[in-house]
Amino acid sequence: MSIHINAKVGDIAETVLLPGDPLRAKWIAETFLSNPICFNEVRGMLGFTGTYQGKRVSVMGTGMGIPSISIYANELIEEFKVKNLIRVGSAGSMQKDIHIRDVVIAMAASTNSGINKNRFSGGDFAPTASFELFQQAYEIAKANEVPIKAGNVLSSDSFYTDQPDEWKKWAEFGVLCVEMEAAGLYTICAKHQVNALCLLTISDSLVTGEFTTAAERETTFSEMVKIALSLA
């Protein structure tokens, strides 16, 4: 049992889907998994293990931000021997050709967080996806005719910013969208030499101002989830 995950070794599968919202974890478990069993309720961060197409898989919320997902990623890897950590999250589009409900695969994650600056004594570490998971996700999406975008995303420490237009500089350099966790997940998994991937569904657009509701973000986005589950 770890500090933040009330489970025993063996309760959690080697592949874990990681939505930020614990209620999305509950929806994924109840909608897609056979015989899901809840293994964690500590701090309301729900976690479940079941099977998908005969393969054992877990899903657990991580909360919002790099510090939060880093706690759960560390404990899942060190205490429960998880080998594949797949974030399934929402993001805000920074490009005019990326629309609401589009699926984005994060090849790499830029960030305005200072966590890695501290970790690498001022150096710039480049957090990237595991190629194996990235390639498999791309092929699964292609086989199921799910259009995707792949590239660099921004993991931001700030949801509300004092400079509303600062995203435009990132967009100018080709960053596809903004979220809050991928850079942390990719860094922790690189440290422990396990696999990481971040799949995102566009929930709002900084370009057009369009957005989805909280209920839609919690209980839809099924195309992204099916791709992630197929990686188990």
Q: How far is CA 27 from CA 132, 143, 180, in A?
A: 27, 25, 21
Q: How far is CA 217 from CA 20, 101, 223, in A?
A: 11, 10, 13
Cα distance between residue 228 and residue 161, in whole Å = 31
Q: Is the pLDDT of residue 110 over 90?
A: yes
pLDDT for 119-169, tens place per residue? 999 999 999 999 999 999 999 999 999 999 999 999 999 999 899 899 999
Q: Please, which residues have CB within 8 angstroms of residue 121's CB and are 6 or more apart in sequence? A: none
Q: How far is CA 159 from CA 34, 156, 163, in A?
A: 35, 7, 11
Residues forming the active site:
204
DSSP at 145: T
Cα distance between residue 84 and residue 81, in whole Å = 10
In this predicted structure, what is the pLDDT of residue 216? 83
Verdict on whether the full-model pTM lies above 0.75:
yes
Domain residue limits, the chain: 15-230
Structure tokens, 87: 């974030």
Q: What angle do CA 67, 14, 31 make, to 5 degrees?
A: 85
pLDDT for 10-42, tens place per residue? 999 999 999 999 999 999 999 999 999 999 999
Q: CATH second-level architecture of 15-230?
A: 3-Layer(aba) Sandwich (3.40)
